[in-house]
Homo-oligomer: A and B are copies of this chain.
Amino acid sequence: MTRDNDKELAILEYIQRRHAETGVYPSVREIATEMGFRSTNTVAYYLNKLERTGLLERPTRQARTFALRSAALRRRRRTPVPPAAGKGIPLLGRVAAGQPILAQQNFDGMVTLDGFFPAGERTFALRVRGDSMIEAGIMDGDLVIVRQQTRVEQGEIGVAILGDEATVKRIYDEGSEWRLQPENPAFEPIRVPKSDGSFAVAGKVVGVLRRL
C-alpha cells in the first residue's frame, strides 16, 4: 500500500518538533522547505495521507493549526512500535474496519500508571466500597487514585475520613459544616460540623481504575 512511509513520519516528526521547540506549528511551505520539496502540493499529499491513517488531525484547516494527540512520536527514531508486553499497555487511536487492530497506524503511545496519573510521593490508591458515587462513574470495587492533600476545591471528588472509615464523596464547604455529597439519588448527603475532630480530607480523587 504505502511504500514511502519514512517521509510521512519525518513530516510528522518535524511538525511535532517545531511545536515542542517553538510552541507554534509550521506552515505547509515551511514543511516543504524542511523536507526539500519544491511544491506545497507535495506536502498536502503527505498531510492527507497522514490524516487518512489517523496519525494527524486537522479539525479546522486554518493557518498553522494541527492536532497531534499521538504520543506515538515521542520516540526519536523509527521503532516499529509493536505492542510489546511488559512496559504498559498500548493505546490505540482510530480503529478502522481494516484488519490488524494492533497495526502501527493505530498506535498512539503506551499507557502506564505512572504516566497516566501524576505519580509521586503523594499519590495512592484506595478501593471503593458501596454505590454512593455510581452516577459519577465510580462503582463498588473500583480503585480510586488519590492525590494526597488536606483540602479540595468546592465540589471536587475527594476522600473524606470520618472516624474509622474513608469514603469517596463530593466535598462542599458549607461554612459551619462540611457536606459530603453522594452521586446517587438513593443516598442522602452527610453533614459534618466543622467542630467534629474525627473528620479530615485525605486527598482528591484524580483517577479511577476498574477491573471487570
Contacts and interface: CB of A to CB of B under 8 A. Distances in A.
A120 to B, nearest CB: 5
Contact of A24 (B65, B91, B125): B65
A115 B207 contact: no
Interface string A113-156: 11111011101111100000010011100110100100000000
Interface of A: 19-20, 22-25, 27, 62-68, 74, 80, 82-93, 95-97, 101-102, 111-117, 119-121, 123-127, 134, 137-139, 142-143, 145, 148, 157, 159, 161-166, 198, 200, 202-203, 205-212
Contact of A101 (B24, B124, B138): B124
Q: How many copies does the complex hold?
A: 2
Contact of A212 (B63, B208, B212): B208
Given A117-B211, A143-B91, A202-B95, A83 B24 contact: no
Q: Which 7 A-B pairs have the closest CB atoms?
A: A86-B114, A63-B63, A95-B166, A208-B210, A91-B125, A137-B139, A24-B65
